[in-house]
Amino acid sequence: MNAQSEVYEHHGTESDRDRLQILDEDGNVLPGAEEPSLSDEELLAMYEALVLARRFDERAISLQRQGRIATYAPMTGQEGSQVATSYALDEDDWLFPTYRDHAAKHVHGMSLSSLLAPLRGYRDGYSIPDDVNVMPEYIPIATQIPQAMGMAWGFKLQGQTDHAVMCHFGDGATSEGDFHEGLNFAGVFDVPVVFVCNNNQWAISTPRERQTKSETLAEKAHAYGIESVRVDGLDPLAVYRATREAIRKAKRPGPNEGRPTLIESVQYRFGAHTTSDDPSVYRDGEAAEWYRKRDPVDRLAGYLDGRGLLTDERETVIEARVEKRIETAIEEAEAIEAEPDDIFEHVYAEMPERLERQRERLRDLREKYGDDAFSEVLE
Ligand SMILES: Cc1ncc(C[n+]2csc(CCOP(=O)(O)OP(=O)(O)O)c2C)c(N)n1
Ligand SMILES: [Mg+2]
């Protein structure tokens, strides 16, 4: 551990500040907390989506280690918030995700295999089916914020008040100009957009305390005349309630309605930034322990158990169904033939000579050794 992480990685501090919470760390409803109005079926479906996300993440990391997919951004610890925010959307609403929002994308309509296909180099992997309102994931930090705001503003100008737009980004994104421009514009023009800041405490190796001197990220909304809410991002019911209210507010006509909201969802990135990162170099496990005790999957399980909804049999059925769905998704994604030449396409209108030379070199190598040789190297 280096000196910097010693200073900045203290547990609890972030989450001890005010935040909306419904469940305690074991999944009991806190005194005076208001549960969202979700049916038993909806709660169980949400729980199954959480289990699916957790297992998918484990499998995806393992697939990357086996050389079967490219670099992957893990989401364990953050899936409770992802699932809950997407559950709060209506079907016609739009989602602008980042590279980490696999579960949010899936809950809003992307198939599991389509989450894996682009990571296998499939050229059309990032294209979105016509009936799914999810933008391709954004890798350049914060660029989705003005774009999401723009789409929502467009809906407003066209009088399409049945659409809201939800935009995900991380704590690191709040230091980008795009964040400030997007929020300012949304505030001035009453744009029906919901900004969800997934504060997982780290932007690769930069801790949250080094990102800003602001006490919370939610308070940044104040400068732009936008309402904000700070929510326990490991409490799926609290996240659902906060997001649902923000979506309703975005769509409600009337004075002070049809307005944007900034949600700061306080989480922790349990794993590495991506499969190319080693977090042990810049942080120790202490803070993680604090958050792990509040694991979103266990907490929702505790809540369902308390309501008599989660029997052992039901758990077994859910696990089996989830395993099967992931297995099928992997088979589907691996059945798609990717064309290695495609990595050189669609970047330049006219391919520079440098790239042409690289493409020729790859073609020569493939001809000489065959594609199986490449798989062996990866194995
Ligand atoms: C404009 C831009 N600058 C730098 C990067 C390199 N980069 C990739 S991820 C990342 C950290 C982002 O942190 P955060 O916004 O907190 O999101 P998280 O990865 O924690 O979900 C950076 C700096 C990038 N992708 N885009
Ligand atoms: Mg982050």
> Which CATH number fits the domain that encloses residue 191?
3.40.50.970
pLDDT for 107-166, tens place per residue? 999 999 999 999 998 877 778 899 999 999 999 999 999 999 999 999 999 999 889 999
Looking from the CA of residue 274, the nearest atom of ligand 1 is 19
List residues near ligand 1 (CB under 6 A): 100, 139-141, 170-173, 200, 202-204, 269, 273
Q: 286 CA to middle of ligand 1, Å?
A: 23
Q: How many domains does the chain have?
A: 2
Are 324 and 347 in a shared domain? Answer: no
Asked if residues 258 and 250 have their Cβ atoms less than 8 Å apart, the reply is yes
Residues 322 and 365 in one domain: no
- The first and second tokens of residue 333, run together, are 């994604």
Q: Which of 209, 208, 239 is nearest to 79 (CA)?
A: 239
Q: Residues 89, 83, 142, 132: is their CA dihedral positive or negative? A: negative
Question: Which of 141, 200, 205 for mutating ligand 1's site (highest number of atoms within 8 Å of CB)?
Answer: 141
The catalytic site residues sit at 269, 273, 282
Residues 360, 239, single domain; the answer is no
| Position 2 confidence tier, pLDDT thresholds 50, 70, 90 | very low
Residues 22 and 295: beta-carbon distance below 8 Å = no
Check whether residue 45 and residue 110 sit in a common domain. Answer: yes
Q: Is the domain of 256 the same as that of 347? A: no
Residue 256 pLDDT greater than 80, yes or no: no
Same domain (yes/no): 270, 291: yes
Burial of 173 (0-12, 13-18, 19+ CB in 10 A): buried
Query: Same domain, yes or no, for 156 and 196?
Result: yes
Give the pLDDT confidence score for residue 376 in this predicted structure: 60
- 327 shares its domain with 346: no
Question: For position 338, what pLDDT does the model report?
Answer: 82
**Domain limits at 9?**
3-335
The pLDDT, as a whole number, for residue 310 is: 96
Nearest residue by C-alpha to atom 25 in ligand 1: 140
For atom 4 of ligand 1, which residue has the closest CA? 141
Total Cβ atoms within 10 A of residue 129: 11
Dihedral of CA atoms 218, 87, 258, 175 in degrees, nearest 10, equals: 30
Residues 84 and 160 in one domain: yes
Return the sign of the alpha-carbon dihedral for residues 18, 21, 27, 30. Answer: positive
Ligand nearest to the CA of 75: 1
Q: Are 11 and 286 in contact (CB under 8 A)?
A: yes
What is the token pair recorded at 127? 């294209």
Helical H runs in 120-207? 144-157, 177-188
Ligand 2 centroid to Cα of residue 313, in Å, is 37
Q: How many residues does the chain have?
A: 379
203 CA from centroid of ligand 1 (Å): 6
Among 14, 204, 266, which is best to mutate for testing ligand 1, by the most ligand atoms less than 8 A from CB?
Answer: 204
Does residue 357 have a pLDDT over 50? yes
Q: Residue 15 pLDDT > 50, yes or no?
A: no
- Model confidence pLDDT, tens digit, residues 161-218: 889 999 999 999 999 999 999 999 999 999 999 999 999 999 999 999 999 999 999 9
Measure 171 CA to ligand 2 centroid, in angstroms. 5
Say whether both 294 and 354 belong to one domain: no
